[in-house]
Amino acid sequence: MQENSGSVEAIILDIKDRKRIGGAYLKSDMICCTPQMSEEKACKLGQVIIQRNPDNPEWPRRITTSFAGRHQETKMDSVEVEIDKTGMYYLYFMFCDPHLKGTIIKGRTVWRNPSGYLPGKMAPLMVVFGLMSLAYLVLGLIWFLKFVQHWKDVIQLHYHITAVIALGMCESALWYFEYSNLNSTGRRPMGITMWAVTFTAVKKTLSRLLLLVVSMGYGVVRPTLGGITSRVLLLGGAYLVASESYELVEHLGNINDFSGKTALFLVLPVTFLDACFILWIFSSLSKTLEQLQMKRNMAKLELYRKFTNSLAVSVLLSIAWIGFELYFNATDPLSELWQVYWIIPTFWAILAYSLLAVICILWAPSRNPTRYAYLEENEDVEEGISLTSGSKATGDSVAKLGEDLEEEKRE
């Protein structure tokens, strides 16, 4: 029996030092030390080749655990490693003994930053969601004051806008508390995370439905959605299920379980349904603008033109940002740019808030609801005014003609 029958090495390194693992500096593609390299005293036989950092000789850090004799299990001692340099750090478990192929490692690692357990790439998001909660609160207070001030002129659409504002406020607050709890305890609270994910999915769904029904002219050009209500609800229900599934796996699933195929399987339905929403929204907007132009309702036409321009700008920004996000993820697979990662989810949060604010401004309750509300008799009134004016002019002409005839008779 040998004293040690195999070793597993836990290697911790800053991702910038990844080229120091393996024989690259020895002009070799080998990861493990070979007998020839050992004879040249370049490394130790049976170990992973590590080139030490001259600025910090202890790094990359190696922690070795060996199997004793013929024992098929061994326990790694609990080790605390202090990291004194900011960076993206990785932990790899590696072995060079071919007899250890199929080794299973069970356990957990605990990582803590000076400010808490929240990973560095996620830490700014706690501040972002805190600020977004305040932003939704301010928007909600302004909307509530307008709502109360003109409550007699409130239409059904205003209740839908109120629901989206409330959901946005709750969503941002829940994510803030979720990140705050994770930062202080190191564990994700299942209950808060579930609620945050659910509120996110519901808010996304209702936001898209709000854009869709506004684009259809609901409450402005038409009093109801009519026969397409079932199709709108079906699309909304499908999006809610797809979005909820994706968010649950992303935030509650294990990193190893969230493979590329699983991610693709869950992202594709969400992307497809988003495309359906965009196409339906713009086709509905086109029809609504055409209707308003034919009826020569200039106030509502101007309102919808502003809304269309805002929506077009947001779609163009979204397409550009998706391109940037794809480029970012493709060029940074190891998260070396972790310090700027937070701007990607922040952009989507700000864009959604901005679109909601635009709708709140354009459809704010006011003393003059006719500029945005549907009035069944509005067009008949306009036509009646035209006929009345014409009749008056005709009456004047008849009166004038009668006077001329009387004068001719006198002559």
DSSP characters over 84-114: -S-S-EEEEEE---GGGTT----------BT
d(CA 85, CA 103): 32
Summarised one tens digit per residue, pLDDT across range 17-27 is 888 888 776 67
d(CA 49, CA 42): 9
- The pLDDT assigned to 411 comes to 44
Residues 6+ apart with CB under 8 A from 51: 20, 21, 25
Domains of the chain: 4-100 (no CATH), 120-368 (1.20.1070.10)
Please, are residues 285 and 215 in contact by the beta-carbon 8 Å criterion?
Answer: yes
Please, are residues 136 and 165 in contact by the beta-carbon 8 Å criterion?
Answer: yes
Q: Do strands 61-68 and 4-14 pair parallel, antiparallel, or not at all (unpaired)?
A: antiparallel
d(CA 180, CA 191): 14
Positive or negative CA dihedral for 288, 292, 298, 300?
negative
Q: Do strands 89-94 and 4-14 pair parallel, antiparallel, or not at all (unpaired)?
A: antiparallel
- The pLDDT assigned to 217 comes to 80
Tally of CA atoms within 13 A in the half-sphere of 367 that contains its CB: 0
Overall pTM > 0.85: no
- The pLDDT assigned to 164 comes to 92
Residues 6+ apart with CB under 8 A from 275: none
Dig out the tokens for 323 from the structure: 């391109």
Question: What stretches of 186-297 show up as alpha helix (H) in DSSP?
Answer: 190-215, 229-252, 260-295
Kindly give the parts of the chain with pLDDT less than 70: 1-5, 25-26, 219-226, 253-264, 368-411
- The pLDDT assigned to 394 comes to 41
Instruction: State the Cα torsion 156-157-158-161 to the nearest 10°.
Output: 140
d(CA 353, CA 323): 21
d(CA 73, CA 70): 9
- The pLDDT assigned to 220 comes to 65
| Cα angle: 298, vertex 302, 307; to 5 degrees | 150
